Amino acid sequence: MFAQANILNAKSPEDIGVRTDEQKVVDNDKPLEYGYVDDRDILFAKMTWERVVLNERSNFPLYYPIDTNNIGKDRRSLYDVLMKNIKNGKIENIYDDSYFSTKRTLKDIEAALTKVDTTELGIEQLNAGETLSAEYIDRREITAADIVEYRIKGLWYFDKRQSEMKYRLL
């Protein structure tokens, strides 16, 4: 369901969609905080990994646009948004493994963000027993086009206080 702000109180067509000061004060676009769940309230818990495959049609908004040269700044792929916010410091918690035990910095993961490949001529040079020349090594940064899927860790749990099965994204 979609609605336009100020549609009933507009004096002219230009006023439709313009929010009043009261609406701006009440409007809170921040995400809702998770409620506290005590460990004693969890009757059952199951850790799951979910795959978000980017070549499925419903996940295209997370993948496209790949080429951002001709697109406005408000449309970016999920990878581009994540990398931009890691580089400018808005995302500080980057972990090494799925147990969230070791934090990493941008400098730590820069090596993982480049792709190193050997060209066909380089493979022939290695098969001939020669030393690989630097000209046959192809280095490039990983872009949004290289991302195939995202793996998301979550926890399904039964909250006995509210008698509900819930999911928490980790």
Considering the domain architecture, whether residues 10 and 75 belong to the same structural domain is answered as no
pLDDT at position 2: 55
The tens digit of pLDDT for each residue in 14-64 reads 777 777 777 777 777 777 888 889 999 999 999 999 999 999 999 999 999
pLDDT at position 80: 92
Considering the domain architecture, whether residues 80 and 26 belong to the same structural domain is answered as no
Give the Cα separation of 109 and 93 in Å (integer). Answer: 12
| Beta-sheet pairing, 137-141 with 114-118 | antiparallel
8 A C-beta contact, residue 147 and residue 157: no
Nearest-Å Rg of the Cα atoms of the chain is 24
Segments of 17-63 assigned E as strands: 42-53
Whether 76 is covered by a domain: the verdict is: yes
pTM for the structure as a whole: 0.70
Specify the number of domains making up the chain.
2
What kind and span of H or E run contains 137?
strand 137-141
Considering the domain architecture, whether residues 19 and 75 belong to the same structural domain is answered as no
Considering the domain architecture, whether residues 24 and 75 belong to the same structural domain is answered as no
Strand partners, 167: 156
Whether 161 is covered by a domain: the verdict is: no
Give the Cα separation of 137 and 122 in Å (integer). Answer: 7
Considering the domain architecture, whether residues 79 and 140 belong to the same structural domain is answered as yes
Whether 48 is covered by a domain: the verdict is: no
Considering the domain architecture, whether residues 75 and 26 belong to the same structural domain is answered as no
**CA–CA distance from 109 to each of 62, 93, 143 (Å)?**
22, 12, 14
The tens digit of pLDDT for each residue in 102-157 reads 889 888 888 888 888 888 988 898 899 888 888 888 888 999 999 999 999 999 99
Report H helices in the chain: 21-26, 60-63, 78-87, 106-109, 120-127
Domain span including residue 24: 1-30
Whether 137 is covered by a domain: the verdict is: yes
The tens digit of pLDDT for each residue in 53-78 reads 999 999 999 999 888 788 888 889 99
Whether 96 is covered by a domain: the verdict is: yes
Whether 11 is covered by a domain: the verdict is: yes
Whether 153 is covered by a domain: the verdict is: no
Whether 154 is covered by a domain: the verdict is: no
